[in-house]
Amino acid sequence: GSSRILRSMNKRFGPEEVRRDCRTLRRHGIGTMGFLLLGGPGETRESVLESLRFADSLDIDALKITAGVRVYPYTRLAEIAAKERVVSRDDDLLMPRFYLAESLGDWLGETLEEWMAERANWMF
């Protein structure tokens, strides 16, 4: 839901495209499920809240939230994770490793629990 974070994760779409596509699917009677990845590089409390508010504003049937982004080899995220010593440069990453912005700490889990307590169709 945060344009800044989507750009930093090299996504080629923005919030308004997601909103438009959700409306189109709903108009044609097609069920929708969103996936929200939180905790990537540059993620802040403000961007997390922006993304949660955005997801909440969509007319979707369900939402799957993950805290942490899987690190795949030979990606920009792998380079960032190695520089920040989340993974080793020698790690083959066959076993899943996840990047979670350090600044979010315990705050993210607590916040997600609060948001999900009021939204039965959200999963973590």
Q: Which residues of the chain have pLDDT under 50?
A: none
Query: pTM to 2 decimals?
Result: 0.90
Residue-level pLDDT at 82: 96
H helices within the chain, ranges in order?
3-8, 15-27, 45-57, 76-83, 105-117
What is the per-residue pLDDT for 80?
A: 94
The pLDDT value given to residue 30: 97
pLDDT at position 54 is: 97
Distance from C-alpha of 64 to C-alpha of 109, rounded to nearest angstrom = 14
C-alpha torsion 91→95→98→99, nearest 10: 10
Angle (deg, nearest 10), helices 45-57 and 15-27: 20
Structure tokens at 113: 């629990």
User: Do residues 40 and 5 make contact, with C-beta atoms less than 8 angstroms apart?
Assistant: yes
Supply the pLDDT for residue 33. 96
